[in-house]
Amino acid sequence: MPTEARHPEAPEWYRNALDVPRTDETVEVDGAEIHYLAWGERGRRGLVFVHGGGAHSHWWTHVAGRYANRYRVAAIDLSGHGDSDRREKYSLEQWTDEVMAVARDSGIEGKPVVIGHSMGGFVTIATSALHPDALAGIVVCDSPVSAPDPEVDAHRMGQAFGKPRHYASREEGLSRFRTVPPQDHYLDYVMADVGWHSLVEEEEGWRWKFDHLAFTAFEENPRVAARPYLPRITCRMALFASENGLVNKEIGGYMYDLMGRVNPVIEIPLAGHHLMLDQPLNLISALNAVLADWDHSEPLRRD
């Protein structure tokens, strides 16, 4: 990582997490080169991290690196995001194929646990349903699956990220770095690194890495896209609901019912929707607890 991306006030735990050795890898999926980051020794059981819409693998770097001493860890750039190729057409189902391809290519031994945030949580839910025997479990982070709502659709979601444009310098682009949706609190040192990896230089100037057309993967309400898949999940699952995020008590209860009332809904204290940007240690603690529990307990089963 370029030293310019390091925030001077970053705490030691964060600096240590970024310093964990990692590699840049690629795997071809349906004609597109899919980029991912990888940590830890090949041949271990594994974790795969999936970012949200408009984001990229480096949103997870300070979280994923902390698991490198126990797991083989991968963080994907879905097509149309980060350093992966763009496509002419995107779909939720094709993104699930990319997640599974990274899990296979990364050298994970056995069935991985997949952790997805926001839109990446929808991808994670669909991956579990479409590949029911391939995953050990999934953790979905503040991904609100709900009944149809005409006020929330893919067109509005795409508009929220603004129109594609170029900036004269990286610094100008970073000054415009925002999350969708916004939230009240962020950790400046995390935002500095995430923003640094969000821009790429072209002949016309600096632009955000994600493809605005990626949101055409959802024909209408993105929150509804994963709904048919949620009742089909058979592996272990945990839903993390940010205290100040999008999965409120009503939506959390709705999802709990769709999950067959056998998977936990766990509140992450103080967190906004983008919980790795404001409460990463609370997120890591919750993930540690879930993974430890799954190693020492039997899952509940649907009636």
Task: Give residue limits of the domains in the chain.
Answer: 12-291
Angstrom distance (rounded) from CA 84 to CA 101? 13
pLDDT at 287: 98
pLDDT at 149: 65
Cα–Cα distances in angstroms (integers) from residue 227 to residues 25, 48, 95, 231, 265, in the given order: 32, 22, 16, 8, 16
pLDDT digits (tens, 9 = 90+) for 148-177: 765 555 555 556 677 889 999 999 999 999
pLDDT at 288: 98
pLDDT in tens, the chain (303 residues): 444 467 888 999 999 999 999 999 999 999 999 999 999 999 999 999 999 999 999 999 999 999 999 999 999 999 999 999 999 999 999 999 999 999 999 999 999 999 999 999 999 999 999 999 999 999 999 999 988 765 555 555 556 677 889 999 999 999 999 999 999 999 999 999 999 999 999 999 999 999 999 988 887 778 899 999 999 999 999 999 999 999 999 999 999 999 999 999 999 999 999 999 999 999 999 999 999 999 999 998 887
Q: Which CATH class is domain 12-291?
A: alpha beta
80, burial (CB in 10 Å: exposed 0-12, middle 13-18, buried 19+): buried
pLDDT at 150: 59
